[in-house]
Structure 1
Amino acid sequence: MTQSIVVQVGQCGNQIGCRFWDLALQEYATINKSGKYDECISSFFRNVDTRHEKMKDLPVGKGKIKSLKARAVLIDMEEGVINETLNGPLKEIFDYTQLITDVSGCGNNWATGHLMYGRQYHDKMMDTIRHATELCDSLQCFFLLHAMGGGTGSGIGTYVLRLLEEHYPKVYRFTTAVYPSNDDDVITSPYNSVLAMHQLTEHADCVLPIENQALIDIINKIYKVMPSERPGKKVFNIDKTQVKTAITSNVERWKRSNEEKPFDHMNNIVANLLLNLTSSARFEGSLNVDLNEITMNLVPFPKLHYLVSSLSPLYSLLDVRLPVVRFDEMFSDAFSKEHQLIQADPKHNLYLACALIVRGKADISDIRRNIEKVRPHLKFIHWNEEGWKTGLCNIPPVGLPYSLLTLANNTCITNTFHNLKCRFVKLYRRKAHIHHYQNIEGFEQTLFEESLESLNYLNDEYQTLNCATNQPLQSASRLHIL
Structure 2
Amino acid sequence: MTQSVVVQVGQCGNQVGCRFWDLALREHAYVNKKGVYDEALSSFFRNVDSRKSDGGSCGVGGRIQYLKARAVLVDMEEGVVNEILQGPLREVFDSTQLLTDVSGSGNNWAVGHMTYGSAYREQIVDKLRKAAEHCDCLQCFFLIHSMGGGTGSGLGTRVLSLLEDEFPDVCRIVTSIYPSAEDDVITSPYNSILAMRELTEHADCVLPVENQSLVEIVNKIKQMSYGGKPGSVIKSDSTVISGQGGISGAEKPFDAMNNIVANLLLNITSSARFEGSLNMDLNEIAMNLVPFPRLHYLVPSLTPLYTLADVNIPTRRLDQMFSDAFSKDHQLIRADPKHSLYLACALMVRGNVQVSDLRRNIERLKPSLPFVSWNQEGWKTGLCSVPPVGHSHSLLALANNTCVKPTFIELRDRFTKLYRKKAHLHHYLQVEGMEQSFFSEALSSLSSLIDEYQHLDATKGRLIPDAARLSIAR
1:183 corresponds in structure 2 to 182
Secondary structure in 2 aligned to 1:19?
helix
Instruction: Return the offset for 1:227.
Output: 4.0
Q: State whether structure 2 residue 263 is matched by structure 1 residue 272.
A: yes
2:359 corresponds in structure 1 to 368
Distance 2:20 2:379 in 1: 27
Instruction: Return the offset for 1:260.
Output: 3.2
Distance 1:110 1:286 in 2: 44
2:383 corresponds in structure 1 to 392
- What are the within-5 Å matches in structure 2 for residues 374-385 of structure 1? 374-385=365-376
Secondary structure in 2 aligned to 1:226?
helix
Q: CA RMSD in A?
A: 2.3
The alpha-carbon distance between structure 1 residues 110 and 456, as it changes in their structure 2 partners (threshold 3 A), is: same
Secondary structure in 2 aligned to 1:209?
strand
1:112 corresponds in structure 2 to 111
From 269, 275, 286, the counterpart of 1:295: 286
TM-score by length of 1: 0.88
| 1:70–1:95 CA contact under 8 A, matched in 2 | no
Instruction: Return the offset for 1:437.
Output: 0.4
Deviation per residue, 1:46-101 (Å, 9 max, x gap): 0002679xxxxx99833455500000100000011000000000101012111000
1:103 corresponds in structure 2 to 102
Secondary structure in 2 aligned to 1:420?
helix
2:142 corresponds in structure 1 to 143
Instruction: Return the offset for 1:231.
Output: 12
- What are the within-5 Å matches in structure 2 for residues 201-216 of structure 1? 201-216=200-215
| 1:36–1:59 CA contact under 8 A, matched in 2 | no
1:20 corresponds in structure 2 to 20
From 346, 354, 357, the counterpart of 1:355: 346
1:152 corresponds in structure 2 to 151
Distance 1:193 1:9 in 2: 15
The alpha-carbon distance between structure 1 residues 33 and 118, as it changes in their structure 2 partners (threshold 3 A), is: same
Instruction: Return the offset for 1:366.
Output: 1.0
Q: State whether structure 2 residue 252 is matched by structure 1 residue 261.
A: yes
Distance 1:96 1:307 in 2: 34
2:273 corresponds in structure 1 to 282
| 1:358–1:404 CA contact under 8 A, matched in 2 | yes
Distance 2:425 2:79 in 1: 28
Distance 1:470 1:304 in 2: 16
Distance 1:190 1:203 in 2: 20
Distance 1:323 1:162 in 2: 49
Distance 1:393 1:169 in 2: 29
Instruction: Return the offset for 1:468.
Output: 1.1
Secondary structure in 2 aligned to 1:440?
coil
Deviation per residue, 1:138-178 (Å, 9 max, x gap): 00000000000000000000000000000100000000000
Instruction: Return the offset for 1:351.
Output: 0.1
Deviation per residue, 1:90-141 (Å, 9 max, x gap): 1010121110000000000000000000000011111111111111110000
Instruction: Return the offset for 1:9.
Output: 0.3
Instruction: Return the offset for 1:270.
Output: 0.3
Distance 1:174 1:322 in 2: 36
Distance 1:168 1:72 in 2: 16
In structure 2, stretches of 5+ residues that fail to align are: 237-246, 463-474
1:478 corresponds in structure 2 to none
Distance 1:62 1:424 in 2: 49
The alpha-carbon distance between structure 1 residues 49 and 132, as it changes in their structure 2 partners (threshold 3 A), is: same
Secondary structure in 2 aligned to 1:300?
coil
Which deviates further from its counterpart, 360-369 or 165-174?
Answer: 360-369
In structure 1, stretches of 5+ residues that fail to align are: 53-57, 234-252, 472-482
| 2:50–2:66 CA contact under 8 A, matched in 1 | no
Instruction: Return the offset for 1:323.
Output: 5.5
Distance 2:419 2:303 in 1: 39
2:448 corresponds in structure 1 to 457
Distance 2:310 2:192 in 1: 37
The alpha-carbon distance between structure 1 residues 105 and 321, as it changes in their structure 2 partners (threshold 3 A), is: farther
Distance 1:415 1:208 in 2: 16
Instruction: Return the offset for 1:469.
Output: 2.5
Distance 1:328 1:102 in 2: 49
Distance 1:83 1:313 in 2: 33
Which deviates further from its counterpart, 125-134 or 43-52?
Answer: 43-52
Distance 1:106 1:151 in 2: 5
Instruction: Return the offset for 1:261.
Output: 2.2
Secondary structure in 1 aligned to 2:254?
helix
2:29 corresponds in structure 1 to 29
Distance 2:346 2:51 in 1: 42
Identity among equivalent positions (%) equals 66
Instruction: Return the offset for 1:228.
Output: 6.9
Deviation per residue, 1:301-342 (Å, 9 max, x gap): 1111000000000114xxx75656700010111100000000
Q: State whether structure 2 residue 397 is matched by structure 1 residue 406.
A: yes
Secondary structure in 2 aligned to 1:352?
strand
Instruction: Return the offset for 1:275.
Output: 0.2
Q: How many residues are paired up?
A: 444
Amino acid at match of 2:22: D
Amino acid at match of 2:27: E
Deviation per residue, 1:202-234 (Å, 9 max, x gap): 00000000000000000011111114799999x
1:440 corresponds in structure 2 to 431
TM-score by length of 2: 0.90
| 2:322–2:395 CA contact under 8 A, matched in 1 | yes
Distance 1:143 1:436 in 2: 31
The alpha-carbon distance between structure 1 residues 380 and 77, as it changes in their structure 2 partners (threshold 3 A), is: same
| 2:303–2:396 CA contact under 8 A, matched in 1 | yes
Distance 1:59 1:23 in 2: 12
Secondary structure in 1 aligned to 2:283?
helix
1:236 corresponds in structure 2 to none
